[in-house]
Amino acid sequence: MKINQPTILMLMILLISLSISSCKELEKAEYTNPDKVKQKTTNYTSDQHPGKKLMVNKCYVCHHPTTENKGRIAPPMVAVKSHYMTSDITKEAFANAMWNFVEKPSKEKSKMRGAIRRFNLMPYRPFVEEEIRQIADYIYDFKIDEPEWFQEHIEEESNGKMPYRNDGKEVKSTASDLENTPAERGLEYALNTKKELGKNLMGTIQKKGVKEAVSFCNKQAYPITDSMATAQNATIKRVSDQPRNSINQANSRELEIIDKFKKAVALNDTYQPVTEVKNGRSHFYYPIMTNSLCLQCHGTTSKDIQPEVLASISLLYPEDKALGYDVNEVRGIWSISFE
């Protein structure tokens, strides 16, 4: 078949167009490659970044920025940033260094020897690597909250050898940032209360041991929770289907929600807080999950709980049902209501 010149020209133009189009598609495919995107993590604002919420939830129980220096049980997160951040460190290397320590804490791997001398070695907890890397990603990119005294403190303590580092983008709140949804408000109330309880509980464990922590919970858990409820203008309860104290027995609706969370965890499904509005009040529910520290008082009696601790539990809580848990199980829920 004879092909005339115009036809040949049209075919050449078509081939060139297809070639250019294929290259552009290849570039697009390479740009959206999951591995490459994972390394770039751009475009997050401070409040949108998943690492911020994880840091507040996972780290602030011990490393909260507003705790007074004398009453601390661990350094603030900005101290971690100052010790791990150097002028030439990459984001990947920064995340690797944080995970290297948190995965299995040891004095040899720590960059914070002074903190270990003051607070002792951070206890092991079964953190998820992806979550720690998201926290590191947030800390690396953004200027994080810090105590007013920190910069002067680190310069004095190190005699100028440890530079103060809180590099990153400034966090700028807008009016929309302040207009939290009921779910966000409820989670904030729960985390604030968890932080206050956890700070005091961890301090007791570190200074006096687990047995004394049982007495602390018996005497101080309710007053601390009530004071946090008053401060936040909310009603705050921690309830369970297997309560240690019968006062914490969940009601019928709370039992339904506990069962819902348990099923989601068993199936490895994601779960969100449950928020309901009744008679002008928001009712917020969120699971209380166990970790390795919890098992010292809520685990298996023959494996996890020391005899003297079990004796103290039996004495103070004769109707105790809060035993036999493993890590990452639903021990109960936060039940919070507010206007």
More reliable by pLDDT, 12 or 194: 194
Q: Are residues 189 and 333 in the same domain?
A: yes
Query: Band of the pLDDT at 71, cuts 50, 70, 90?
Result: low
* Tally of structural domains, the chain: 2
How big is the chain, counted in residues?
Answer: 339
Residue finishing a domain among 169, 204, 231: 169
pLDDT bin (cut points 50, 70, 90) of residue 2 is very low
Answer yes or no: do 193 and 322 share one domain: yes
Instruction: Mark residue 324 as left, alpha or beta (left: phi above 0; alpha: psi -120 to 50; beta: remaining).
Output: left
Range of the domain at 297: 181-338
- If asked whether residues 54 and 153 sit together in one domain, one would say yes
Burial profile 63-75: b = 16 or more Cβ within 10 angstroms, e = fewer = bbeebeeeebbbb
311 near 214, Cβ under 8 Å? no
3-state secondary structure of 218: helix
1 belongs to a structural domain: no
If you search the block for the tokens 């911020």, which residue do you land on? 52
Confidence of residue 172 (pLDDT cuts 50, 70, 90): low
Largest CA distance in the chain: 102
State percent of the chain over pLDDT 90.
42
Is 0.85 surpassed by the pTM of this model? Answer: no
Alpha helix (H) ranges present in the chain?
A: 5-31, 34-40, 50-54, 60-63, 77-84, 91-103, 113-119, 129-141, 150-157, 175-178, 182-208, 210-232, 252-266, 295-298, 307-316
pLDDT digits (tens, 9 = 90+) for 91-132: 999 999 999 999 999 999 998 888 888 888 887 777 889 999
How many whole angstroms separate alpha carbon 217 and alpha carbon 208?
A: 13
Residue type, 33: N
The residues, any chain, with a CB within 8 Å of residue 36's CB and separated by 6 or more, are 30
pLDDT score, position 3? 45
